[in-house]
Structure 1
Amino acid sequence: MQAEDAGLVERYLEHVRVEKRLAQRTVELYALDLQKLLENAQTAAVPLLRVQNAHVRRWVAQMHGGGRSGRGIALILSGWRGFYAWLGREGRVTSNPVQDVRAPKVAKPLPKALSVDDAVQFAEFSEDEADPWLEARDAAIVELLYGCGLRVGELVGLDAQASGSAKGWIDLQAGEAHVLGKGSKRRTVPVGRKAIASLRHWLDLRGGGLKGEQPALFVGRHGSRLSAQAIWQRLKQRSLKAGLATPVHPHMLRHSFASHVLQSSGDLRAVQELLGHANIGTTQVYTRLDFQHLAKAYDAAHPRAKRK
């Protein structure tokens, strides 16, 4: 059995090397994947030609239980699937036992969020020697992104005042931001005292640096509406000048907003409304961020958590 199985693997590797003309490194990776298949089949005392769907699922569970990542398992399954597809074309098997088997889902990485101290440091940073016009604009951008949890697309769509054509606008009197979010859904979010103060300061200076009329709330020196890319660049530069270890981008401020509101309130539904998430499942990722914060506090403070 072992000799026949090894022969089938060798024939397949020759096929992909000569007929499919795959790169040598790719062939080597296929060989490693199929060696794993051979080992599993030998342990289960089943010939490769008689491997069933249940065998493959058991081996996937074993790999996952052994710590192999979902991405790594997916690559192995791809190699096995190609091998059995070739056996099918050769008339050696009637069905592909790997066809409907999928690797475990890869865990989504947690969104990056600033600590409360870093977020406050960034929001309060002021560059003394900077152009006052640019400094006022960038400070207002930071306050809105962190203070309201806006998406960068929602921010760049804001106009200085409400109008029939405005996608979004700020109502300073009411302390509200009216934004157009994903799926063309409108929502209203509160604007905090610090953000309102920054916006008033920016609006006082904004007109003095413009050429012509421009409805956009945030503009460049030439009067055109700021792009999302320009805001990414300005935040990155500002975070480095502020002394933060990690370059800040707009979505990081949105994540920080959500995480910090949840830490303080514990109200997941409120955070969902503030972020404009259609599904609360999208918002639940911030409960994991909140747990990380609590776990760190526990490890640092509880006498039974400290390790010698």
Structure 2
Amino acid sequence: MSAPDTPRDALAPPAPPPLIVRHLDHLRIQRRLAERTLAMYGDAFRRLHAFCHQEGLDLVAVRPHHVRGWTARLHAQGLGPRSIAITLAGWRGLYKWLGREGWVHLNPVEGIKAPKAPKPLPKALPVDQAVALAEHRPADPSDTAASPAAATRAAREAPWLQARDRAMVELLYSSGLRSAELLGLDVHASPHAAGWIDLAGAEAHVLGKGSKRRSVPVGQAALAALRTWLDLRAALSPPQDDALFLSRLGRRLTPVQLRNRLKQLAQQAGLPTHVHPHMLRHSFASHLLQSSGDLRAVQELLGHAHIGTTQVYTKLDFQHLAQVYDAAHPRARRKD
């Protein structure tokens, strides 16, 4: 004999109340939040509504002790600190809006924080791997020692594409640019350009976070690669964009295209790890700090507003020194 049907409202809370629907509309229409942000806040509101439903609590009757208890439950259920922080941010914004609309007199989420998340160290390439990536050249199609796959790949890639890729890698590693700063570069300086390269002055002028402009030096290897690329770029069919780095269609390269291309180049160069554009920025900072020890200079070059953001590279530097010590010092090695 089959079990009786379980009432639907015993399995899940009913549809979100109109106030949550109105708030989401406000975020979408008035605030014009991105779809991904709306989706994350939607998940946060579903959690809030589920907690209220489980405790028979009206949305506007929530108090700080409820939120603290629910935060602890989310943590116990395995939700990560970052996800909990996003959830609390959604709830906080909801009750702030409810207060403006006259539904509540206090924000029950105010002052409640998510558990602290451990800050992972940025991943930087060892110096030899960064140099290997920058100096990598595709196999010559006529080289009999090259594998058939490598020769086919090299024959398929036009010289301008190889020159563009080398210039991008050299510039990312030489100047520590963010991917958005690299892709925002134009061929010529203009009032409308987000950034450009001054070849004569060996400088890159970029637009960083917070719309802050800065100038960073460009190394000789990067300058040579850029000149080669610019010569070939000028010979291409009329580009569709003023961008320094173009796609096959003559348009400004996108972040996804840059990530995919760098991943392919790292694989071709035989690097044992996945490489993304920001890893070259981390490598730039870490290697510069190892050589100079000048934290303030690295901060300026990276465009960090606060020295604390740059200090994470001192941990990388110590990690590197610790590895050297463990490998080299006779009293560091454990006896078997």
**Shorter-normalised TM-score: what interval?**
0.5 to 0.7
Question: Which residue is 1:274 aligned to?
Answer: 301
1:202 maps onto 2:229 in alignment: yes
1:21 maps onto 2:11 in alignment: yes
1:124 maps onto 2:135 in alignment: yes
Q: What secondary structure does 2:298 align onto?
A: helix
Partners of 2:281 and 2:119 in 1: how far apart? 18
Over 3 Å counting, the alpha-carbon distance change for 1:211 and 1:290 in structure 2 is same
* Kept in 2: contact 1:71–1:103 (CA 8 A): no
1:291 maps onto 2:318 in alignment: yes
Over 3 Å counting, the alpha-carbon distance change for 1:19 and 1:262 in structure 2 is same
Question: Which residue is 1:184 aligned to?
Answer: 211
1:114 maps onto 2:125 in alignment: yes
Aligned pairs for 1:21-170 within 5 A: 21=11, 105-128=116-139, 129=154, 130-170=157-197
Query: How many residue pairs were aligned?
Result: 227
Q: What secondary structure does 2:11 align onto?
A: coil
Runs of 4+ in 1 over 4 A off after TM superposition: 69-72, 99-104
Shift of 1:278: 0.5
Read off the aligned partner of 1:234 and give its amino acid letter.
R
Partners of 2:323 and 2:12 in 1: how far apart? 48
Read off the aligned partner of 2:211 and give its amino acid letter.
S
Partners of 1:210 and 1:247 in 2: how far apart? 33
CA RMSD of the aligned region, Å?
2.8
Choose 283-292 or 205-214, whichever is displaced more.
205-214
Shift of 1:143: 0.4
Read off the aligned partner of 1:273 and give its amino acid letter.
E
Cα distance per residue 1:244-279 (max 9 Å; x no partner): 111211001111111110111111111110000001
Question: Which residue is 2:247 aligned to?
Answer: 220
Task: Give the TM-score taking structure 2 as reference length.
Answer: 0.62
Shift of 1:209: 2.2
Unaligned residue ranges in structure 2 (runs of 5+) = 1-7, 14-64, 73-77, 85-109, 140-153
Read off the aligned partner of 1:178 and give its amino acid letter.
H
Choose 125-134 or 250-259, whichever is displaced more.
125-134
Shift of 1:21: 3.2
Read off the aligned partner of 2:288 and give its amino acid letter.
V
Q: What secondary structure does 2:262 align onto?
A: helix
* Kept in 2: contact 1:149–1:275 (CA 8 A): yes
Shift of 1:102: 6.3
Over 3 Å counting, the alpha-carbon distance change for 1:307 and 1:20 in structure 2 is farther
Partners of 2:211 and 2:182 in 1: how far apart? 14
Task: Give the TM-score taking structure 1 as reference length.
Answer: 0.68
Q: What secondary structure does 1:278 align onto?
A: coil
Read off the aligned partner of 1:230 and give its amino acid letter.
Q
Which has the larger Rg? 1
Read off the aligned partner of 1:279 and give its amino acid letter.
H
Partners of 2:302 and 2:215 in 1: how far apart? 10
Partners of 2:249 and 2:222 in 1: how far apart? 25
Shift of 1:161: 1.5
